[in-house]
Amino acid sequence: MNLIKIACIMLAIALFLGILTSGGGDEMPAISPEPGNEIVSSDVSGLAGTVKAEEKSEIAAPAVPKTEQDSPIPEKGESKLAGERRNIESKVRATVRLVEAQGKELFPSFREEGSPWFQDDFCILVWTPDGTQVVCPSDPSREGKNIKELVDADGKPIGELFIETALSEKGEGWIEYNWQDRNSSEPYRKCTFVKKASSGKRTYIVGADFYLEDYIVCRNLEACKYTDEPGNSQIAELLNPLSLDRNLELDCSLAHSIIEPGRNTAPHIMGNPEIHYILEGQGLLYIDGIPIEIRPDQLICIPADSIQSTYNTGNTTLKFLIIDQPARSEQNIDFLELKKLD
């Protein structure tokens, strides 16, 4: 009788332990079932195609969820620049999926003008990891040439950067540089997005670019031309929408002015309020006959229709920024007779 009781107790304990360790009925199996023939759509921003996943004989590993990596560039902007960035990235990534499925047989299609890969100012570019240009629809003469030693107008090794960025652990990225076109006298800022594509035993670098100047204005002071102003000052326009060939939706201007020691600007009247921000040097700014001492890191807002003149009273060059709204123009300035400082 005691043996029967002991056996019943042991059975109850075993059943209890089994319930605790068996888990719920909804638990996922340790090995995911092998997927069937998956159809991957690459219909993104004008690039359409379907890629049939290769059948694999071995058991597929459990799917690993993708984690979004932090980007140093915000992706939620609503500007035209943000839209173009997303457009370029989407088209390059869709093209990579097609290249990985169909290989170099697609390359002739990339050269067809009017195709999703070559239209307007957009075209897909392809290189090999050693730097050889494989596809360049906008300039076929570049095909077959090596771009590994390619540098921009400032000597930046952009050829190497294209390759390093695409072959990095991330496998994609942007390169910004100063590009000198053959038919242009001045360099322009350009951005290229590159991504690695693997097709069988071959590896390619797929990319596309756009001109940053189409969306933002970025200028260096040393590239701006100074003009002589009445009196003894010089001024360089850093930004003036009136001198650009496109609409910035902006109605103000920014200029850099310099006055050498012992010299001054001619007295003049601005039809709009004007802001001066002093960068270097010292002097006197006369506003309607009232002298105001000026020094670095000082901002002065000059009322509209005031007579103003700036004198350099120091031993170094006086440098300051001038901000006008509306944008500075000859119609807004009335120069008066120059008088010497007593």
**Which tens digit of pLDDT belongs to each residue from 203-228?**
999 999 999 988 888 888 988 999 99
Which pair of structure tokens corresponds to residue 307?
């007579």
Domain end point (choices 175, 197, 214): 214
Q: Does residue 149 lie within any of the structural domains?
A: yes
The enclosing domain of 81 has a CATH number of 3.30.450.20
Q: How far apart are CA 216 and CA 224, in angstroms?
A: 17
Please report the pLDDT score of residue 338 as a whole number: 54
Q: What is the pLDDT of residue 72?
A: 59
Please say whether the beta carbons of 208 and 195 come within 8 A. no
- Structurally, how many domains does the chain consist of? 2
2: left (phi over 0), alpha (psi -120 to 50) or beta: alpha
Q: Is the pLDDT of residue 22 over 90?
A: no
**Residues forming beta bridges with residue 309, ordered by sequence position:** 286
Is the whole model's pTM more than 0.85, yes or no? no
Query: How many Cα atoms sit within 13 Å of 125 on the Cβ side?
Result: 29
37 vs 176 pLDDT, higher one: 176
The reply to whether 231 and 323 lie within a common domain is yes
Looking at residue 75, its pLDDT comes to 63
What SS3 class is residue 16? helix
**6 domain-assigned:** no
**pLDDT exceeds cutoff 60 at 65:** no
| pLDDT number for residue 209 | 96
Count of all residues that appear for the chain in the document: 342
- Token reading at 265: 């600007």
Quote the percentage of the chain above a pLDDT of 90: 63
In which residue are the tokens 């239209």 written?
119
Q: Are residues 140 and 119 in the same domain?
A: yes
Give every CB contact of residue 308 below 8 A, 6+ residues apart in sequence: 265, 267, 268, 269, 270, 274, 285, 286, 287, 288, 302
Between 248 and 292, the higher pLDDT residue: 292
Assigned domain for 227 exists: yes
- pLDDT at residue 78, as a whole number: 87
Judgement on whether residues 118 and 202 belong to the same structural domain of the protein? yes
Confidence of residue 74 (pLDDT cuts 50, 70, 90): low
Q: What pLDDT was estimated at residue 14?
A: 44
User: Looking at the domain assignment, is residue 69 inside a domain?
Assistant: no
pLDDT band at 123; cut points 50, 70, 90: very high
- Whether 312 has a pLDDT exceeding 90, the answer reads yes
**In the prediction, which pLDDT does 216 show?**
87
Q: Is residue 93 part of a domain?
A: yes
Select from 194, 214, 234 the last residue of a domain. 214
Q: Name the residue range of residue 230's domain.
A: 221-335
Domain co-membership, 209 together with 81:
yes
CATH of residue 314: 2.60.120.10
User: 33: cis peptide before it, omega within 30°?
Assistant: no
| Average per-residue pLDDT for the chain | 82
Q: Examine the domain organization and report whether 185 and 86 are in the same domain.
A: yes
Contacts with 96 (C-beta within 8 Å, 6 or more apart), sequence order: 195, 196, 197, 206
Burial 242-272 (b: 16+ CB within 10 A, else e): eeeeeeeeeebbbbbbbbeeebbbbbbebeb
Specify whether 208 is located in the same domain as 117: yes
pLDDT band at 311, cuts 50/70/90?
very high
Residues 237-254, mean pLDDT to the nearest whole number:
87
Same domain, 226 and 116: no
Lowest mean pLDDT across 67-76, 104-113, 141-150: 67-76
Q: What is the pLDDT of residue 48?
A: 47
Amino acid at 142: R
Q: What is the pLDDT of residue 136?
A: 96
Residue 319 within a domain? yes
User: Does some domain include residue 55?
Assistant: no
Domain limit, last residue, from 168, 184, 214: 214
